[in-house]
Amino acid sequence: MSADKNDHSPESHDTDHLGHEGHNHGSFKSYLIGFVLSVILTAIPFWLVMTGVLPTQATALIVMAFAVVQIVVHMIYFLHMNSKSEGGWTMLALIFTIIVVVIALSGSLWVMYHLNTNMMPSTHDMSQMSS
């Protein structure tokens, strides 16, 4: 694959057109695989929530797990992420972003949850606030 060779020495392939510089656009097959997987990974959570066949907690966990898997599927089959494109810099940027996102999300939820539970006004305060 020319795309792989390009990654380490992009300047050595002057004649190669831009479309193949560290980026492969996948094939018809890979897009189809990604699409079918996405449909399955979307349909099951919707079906679970709409029918409510499982207990609430189990449904929530499965729905979240399916979302994570589907995001990975999209990254691989639609965004063509791999550890080699652009000499690994796209993957590095992605990992950095994921770390920041996880810290920001978990931090916000954690801190604000405790703030909520510890500073929850008593019923007396509530009635004062609403009046």
Using CB under 8 A, list all residues that contact other proteins: 10-11, 14, 17-19, 21-23, 25-28, 31-32, 34-35, 38-39, 42, 45-46, 49-50, 52, 56, 59-60, 63-64, 66-67, 70-71, 74-75, 78-79, 86, 89-90, 93-94, 96-97, 100-101, 104-105, 108-109, 112
Whole-number minimum distance, CB 15 to other proteins, in Å? 10
Q: Specify burial of residue 26 (Cβ count, 10 A radius: 0-12, 13-18, 19+).
A: middle
Q: Which of 50, 73, 45, 46 is nearest to 61 (CA)?
A: 45
**Smallest gap from residue 115 Cβ to other proteins (A):** 9
